[in-house]
Amino acid sequence: MDNPNNLIITGPEDGEHLMIAGSHYRILLSGNQTGNKSAIIEMNVPPGSGPVPHQHTGFAESFYVLEGEVEMRTIENTYLAKKGAIVTIPLDGPVHSFKNISDSMARLLCIVTPSGLDEFFREFGKPLGTIPQPMTDEEKQRIRTYAEEHGQKLFPPDYLDK
């Protein structure tokens, strides 16, 4: 962060474009640009996609639905978030996940305070255009270890079904 009085501008095609778990994520604002105070990630999530249930400490996460609809889940709640909805996972919040249960693309803004999730995505994202491949057992273990080092815990895909 050079000068705190300068505008930070990300153009319509700018930012880091990554493939993560079959979805196209674009880092619009990174912790490097904000002194690690926040990050904003655009998430383009195809039908049937979304992260495994997870929990994180040390940051809050808000999802603003720009297009489509996603099912947001915790143990206690299931909410169908449609265009214009915002869902916030508070600091040190519950195990949660989301999934695009529609038959069209969903687009979300993920706002994280403080930053850090952007670095996690950089570590595990693949260049845009990469054909998604199933993760190897070694990759799954590496992502779990890295997630835990960064205050996140990953749970099995069926964890919230219990």
Q: Does residue 7 sit within a domain?
A: no
Taking residues 145-161, what's their average pLDDT?
Answer: 85
Residue 141 has pLDDT above 60, yes or no: yes
Q: How many angstroms separate the CA atoms of 145 and 162, rounded?
A: 25
Q: Does residue 11 sit within a domain?
A: no
What is the pLDDT, as a whole number, of residue 99?
A: 95
Q: Does residue 5 sit within a domain?
A: no
Q: Does residue 136 sit within a domain?
A: yes
Q: How many angstroms separate the CA atoms of 12 and 159, rounded?
A: 37
The tens digit of pLDDT for each residue in 82-124 reads: 999 999 999 999 999 999 999 999 999 999 999 988 888 888 7
Number of domains in the chain: 1
Domain that holds residue 155: 16-161
The answer to whether residues 154 and 54 touch, using CB atoms and an 8 Å cutoff, is yes
Q: How many angstroms separate the CA atoms of 1 and 113, rounded?
A: 16
What is the pLDDT, as a whole number, of residue 122?
A: 84
The answer to whether residues 87 and 43 touch, using CB atoms and an 8 Å cutoff, is no
What is the pLDDT, as a whole number, of residue 152?
A: 83
Q: Does residue 36 sit within a domain?
A: yes
Which among 45, 14, 30 has a CA at the least distance from the CA of 121? 30
Q: Which helix (H) or strand (E) holds 14?
A: none
- Whether the link from the prior residue into 114 is cis, omega within 30° of 0, is yes
Q: Does residue 147 sit within a domain?
A: yes
Q: Does residue 6 sit within a domain?
A: no
Q: Give residue 3's pLDDT band: very low, low, confident or very high (50, 70, 90).
A: low
* pTM of the predicted structure, to 2 decimals: 0.88
Q: Please provide the size of the chain in residues.
A: 162
Q: Does residue 3 sit within a domain?
A: no
The answer to whether residues 17 and 88 touch, using CB atoms and an 8 Å cutoff, is no
What is the pLDDT, as a whole number, of residue 133?
A: 63
Residue 1 has pLDDT above 60, yes or no: no
Question: At 73, which CATH number?
Answer: 2.60.120.10
